[in-house]
A and B are shown apart, each in its own frame.
Chain A
Amino acid sequence: MAAVQDAPMELDAEKETKPEILSDGTSNLSGNTASGTLSSPPLTAGGAPKQEDQQTLIAVLQFLRRNKLTESVEILRREACLEDQEDSQTLDGSGGGKGDGDGGDANSLLSRVSIASAAAPQIISSTSMYDQPDVSVVLSAYSQQGDPSLYQVYYSSLKNFIESVLDCHRAELSQLFYPLFVHMYLELVYNNHENKAKAFFEKFSGDQECYYQDDLRILCGLTKKEHLKGNEALLDFRTSRFVLRISRDSYQLLKRHLQERHNNQIWNIIQEHLYIDIFDGMPRSKSQIDSMSGSFAGETRREVNKAKVFYGLLKEPEIEVPLDDEDDEAENEEGKPKKKKTKKDSMGSKSKKQDPNAPQQNRIPLPELKDSDKLDKIMYMKESTKRIRLGPENLPSICFYSFLNAYQGLTAVDFTDDSSLLAGGFADSTVRVWSATPKKLRKVKSAAELNLIDKESDDVLERIMDEKTASESKNLYGHSGPVYGVSFSPDRNYLLSSSEDGTVRLWSLQTFTCLVGYKGHNYPVWDTHFSPFGYYFVSGGHDRVARLWATDHYQPLRIFAGHLADVTCTRFHPNSNYVVTGSTDRTIRLWDVLNGNCVRFFTGHKGPIHSLAFSPNGKFLASGSTDGRVLLWDIGHGLMIGELKGHTDTIYALKFSRDGEILASGSMDNTVRLWDSMKAFDDMETDDFTAATGHIHLPDNSQELLLGMYHSKSTPVTHLHFTRRNLLLAAGAYNSQ
Chain B
Amino acid sequence: MTEREERRFAEVPRESIKLMAESSGVELSEEVAALLAEDVCYRLREATQNSSQFMRHAKRRKLSVEDLNRALRWSNTETICGYGAQDALPFRPLKEGELFFVEDREINLVELALATNIPKGCAETMVRVHVSYLDGKGNLEPQGTVPTAVQSLSEDLLKYYQQITRAILGEDPHLMKVALLDLQSNSKIAALLPYFVYVISGVKSVSHDLDQLNRLLHMVKSLVQNPYLYLGSYVRSLVSSVMYCILEPLAASINPLNDHWTLRDYAALLLSHIFWTHGDLVSGLYHQILLSLQKVLSDPVRPLCSHYGAVVGLHALGWKAVERVLYPHLPAYWANLQAVLDDYSVSNAQVKADGHKVYGAILVAVERLLKMKALSLTLAAEGSGAGLPAGCPWEEWTPVSLPAMYCELYSFFGDSLAVRFSTGLPLGGQNSVHIMMITFCCFVLRAFLTGGLFLSRVCRSLARSSSSSVSRSRSSSSRPGRSTSQSRDIFPKARFPLPQAGPPAFSFIIGGRQMGRRCQGRRFQTSFSPTPPLTTHPPRAYAHKLPVIGRVSKPVRRWTCSHYSLHLPL
CB neighbours of A434 from chain B (8 A): 127
User: How far does the alpha carbon of A395 sit from the alpha carbon of B136 in the complex, in Å?
Assistant: 5
User: How far does the alpha carbon of A155 sit from the alpha carbon of B215 in the complex, in Å?
Assistant: 78
Contact: B56 with A3, CB < 8 Å? no
Proximity bits, B60-76, A CB within 8 Å = 1, else 0: 11101010001100111
Select the stretch in A32-40, A214-222, A369-377, A551-559 that faces chain B. A214-222
Task: Determine if B541 is an interface residue (Cβ-Cβ < 8 Å).
Answer: no
Task: Determine if A504 is an interface residue (Cβ-Cβ < 8 Å).
Answer: no
Partner of B126, one of A230, A404, A526: A404
A546 CB to nearest B CB, Å: 15
User: How far does the alpha carbon of A322 sit from the alpha carbon of B39 in the complex, in Å?
Assistant: 72
Contact: B74 with A523, CB < 8 Å? yes
A2 and B75 contact, Cβ closer than 8 Å, known pairs A217-B49, A223-B42, A404-B126:
yes
Proximity bits, A386-430, B CB within 8 Å = 1, else 0: 000000001111111111111111110000000000101011000
Task: Determine if B123 is an interface residue (Cβ-Cβ < 8 Å).
Answer: yes
User: How far does the alpha carbon of A481 sit from the alpha carbon of B71 in the complex, in Å?
Assistant: 13
Partner of B125, one of A397, A432, A568, A610: A432
Q: Which of B400-450 contact A (CB under 8 A)?
A: none
A405 and B123 contact, Cβ closer than 8 Å, known pairs A220-B9, A524-B74, A650-B56:
yes
Partner of A202, one of B6, B61, B64, B128: B6
Partner of A652, one of B42, B45, B59: B59
CB neighbours of A680 from chain B (8 A): none
Partner of B42, one of A224, A411, A426: A224
User: How far does the alpha carbon of A484 sit from the alpha carbon of B20 in the complex, in Å?
Assistant: 37
B456 CB to nearest A CB, Å: 50
Closest partner residue, chain A, to B128 (CB atom): A402
Task: Determine if A489 is an interface residue (Cβ-Cβ < 8 Å).
Answer: no
Chain B interface category by residue count: 35 or more
Proximity bits, B94-127, A CB within 8 Å = 1, else 0: 0000000000000000000000000000111111
User: How far does the alpha carbon of A395 sit from the alpha carbon of B133 in the complex, in Å?
Assistant: 10
Contact: A610 with B56, CB < 8 Å? yes
CB neighbours of A610 from chain B (8 A): 56
A403 and B74 contact, Cβ closer than 8 Å, known pairs A221-B46, A484-B57:
no
Contact: B54 with A500, CB < 8 Å? yes
Contact: A584 with B53, CB < 8 Å? yes
Contact: B128 with A404, CB < 8 Å? yes
Task: Determine if B132 is an interface residue (Cβ-Cβ < 8 Å).
Answer: yes
Task: Determine if A227 is an interface residue (Cβ-Cβ < 8 Å).
Answer: yes
CB neighbours of A4 from chain B (8 A): 75-76
Task: Determine if B257 is an interface residue (Cβ-Cβ < 8 Å).
Answer: no
Task: Determine if A538 is an interface residue (Cβ-Cβ < 8 Å).
Answer: no
Closest partner residue, chain B, to A3 (CB atom): B76
Task: Determine if A436 is an interface residue (Cβ-Cβ < 8 Å).
Answer: yes
Closest partner residue, chain B, to A727 (CB atom): B131
User: How far does the alpha carbon of A401 sit from the alpha carbon of B122 in the complex, in Å?
Assistant: 20
Closest partner residue, chain A, to B39 (CB atom): A224
Contact: A482 with B58, CB < 8 Å? yes
CB neighbours of B127 from chain A (8 A): 401-404, 422, 424, 434, 473, 731
Proximity bits, B1-34, A CB within 8 Å = 1, else 0: 0010011110000000000000000000000000
Task: Determine if A250 is an interface residue (Cβ-Cβ < 8 Å).
Answer: no
Task: Determine if B38 is an interface residue (Cβ-Cβ < 8 Å).
Answer: yes
CB neighbours of A674 from chain B (8 A): 136
Contact: B136 with A707, CB < 8 Å? yes
CB neighbours of A2 from chain B (8 A): 74-75
Task: Determine if B130 is an interface residue (Cβ-Cβ < 8 Å).
Answer: yes
Contact: B126 with A398, CB < 8 Å? no
A483 CB to nearest B CB, Å: 10
Proximity bits, A213-241, B CB within 8 Å = 1, else 0: 00001101111101100110000000000
B31 CB to nearest A CB, Å: 14
Q: Which of B128-157 contact A (CB under 8 A)?
A: 128-137, 156
Q: Which of A600-648 contact B (CB under 8 A)?
A: 608, 610, 626
Select the stretch in A310-318, A506-514, A697-705, A708-716 that faces chain B. A708-716
CB neighbours of A495 from chain B (8 A): none
B509 CB to nearest A CB, Å: 43
Contact: B125 with A399, CB < 8 Å? no
CB neighbours of A473 from chain B (8 A): 126-127
Contact: A400 with B45, CB < 8 Å? no
Contact: A401 with B58, CB < 8 Å? no
Q: What's the dominant secondary structure at chain B's contact region? A: mixed
Contact: B125 with A221, CB < 8 Å? no
Contact: A526 with B57, CB < 8 Å? yes
Contact: B59 with A626, CB < 8 Å? no
We find that the number of chain A residues with CB closer than 8 angstroms to chain B is: 69
A405 and B126 contact, Cβ closer than 8 Å, known pairs A524-B74, A716-B59:
yes
User: How far does the alpha carbon of A217 sit from the alpha carbon of B9 in the complex, in Å?
Assistant: 9
CB neighbours of B71 from chain A (8 A): 1
Contact: B136 with A221, CB < 8 Å? no
Task: Determine if B237 is an interface residue (Cβ-Cβ < 8 Å).
Answer: no
CB neighbours of A411 from chain B (8 A): 57-59
B105 CB to nearest A CB, Å: 24
Task: Determine if B41 is an interface residue (Cβ-Cβ < 8 Å).
Answer: yes
Task: Determine if A111 is an interface residue (Cβ-Cβ < 8 Å).
Answer: no
Partner of A395, one of B130, B132, B137: B137
Contact: A396 with B129, CB < 8 Å? no
User: How far does the alpha carbon of A398 sit from the alpha carbon of B129 in the complex, in Å?
Assistant: 10
Task: Determine if B50 is an interface residue (Cβ-Cβ < 8 Å).
Answer: yes
User: How far does the alpha carbon of A226 sit from the alpha carbon of B43 in the complex, in Å?
Assistant: 11
A421 CB to nearest B CB, Å: 11
CB neighbours of A403 from chain B (8 A): 125-127
Contact: B42 with A398, CB < 8 Å? no
Q: Which of B512-541 contact A (CB under 8 A)?
A: none
Q: Which of A404, A626, A712, A716 is packed against the most chain B CB atoms within 10 Å? A: A404
CB neighbours of B74 from chain A (8 A): 1-2, 523-524, 542
Contact: A400 with B125, CB < 8 Å? no
Contact: B132 with A398, CB < 8 Å? yes
Proximity bits, A179-210, B CB within 8 Å = 1, else 0: 00000000000000000000000100000000
CB neighbours of B60 from chain A (8 A): 408
User: How far does the alpha carbon of A410 sit from the alpha carbon of B58 in the complex, in Å?
Assistant: 7
CB neighbours of A394 from chain B (8 A): 135
Q: Which of B293-345 contact A (CB under 8 A)?
A: none
User: How far does the alpha carbon of A500 sit from the alpha carbon of B71 in the complex, in Å?
Assistant: 11
CB neighbours of B130 from chain A (8 A): 399-400, 402
Partner of B133, one of A5, A230, A398, A524: A398
Known: A403-B125, A407-B122, A408-B64. 9 other contacts (CB 8 A): A2-B74, A202-B6, A217-B49, A218-B45, A227-B39, A404-B126, A404-B127, A500-B54, A542-B74
Which 10 residue pairs across A and B have the least CB separation, nearest first? A395-B136, A221-B45, A405-B123, A1-B74, A398-B133, A400-B132, A1-B50, A3-B76, A398-B132, A397-B134
The residues of A with any CB-CB pair to B shorter than 8 Å are: 1-5, 202, 217-218, 220-224, 226-227, 230-231, 394-411, 422, 424, 426-427, 432, 434, 436, 473, 481-482, 484, 500, 523-524, 526, 542, 566, 568, 584, 608, 610, 626, 650, 652, 668, 674, 707-708, 710, 712, 716, 718, 730-731
* Subset of 20 A-B contacts with CB under 8 Å: A220-B8, A223-B38, A226-B39, A397-B135, A398-B136, A399-B129, A399-B132, A403-B125, A405-B122, A406-B125, A407-B125, A408-B58, A410-B59, A411-B58, A422-B127, A482-B54, A524-B57, A568-B57, A710-B136, A718-B59
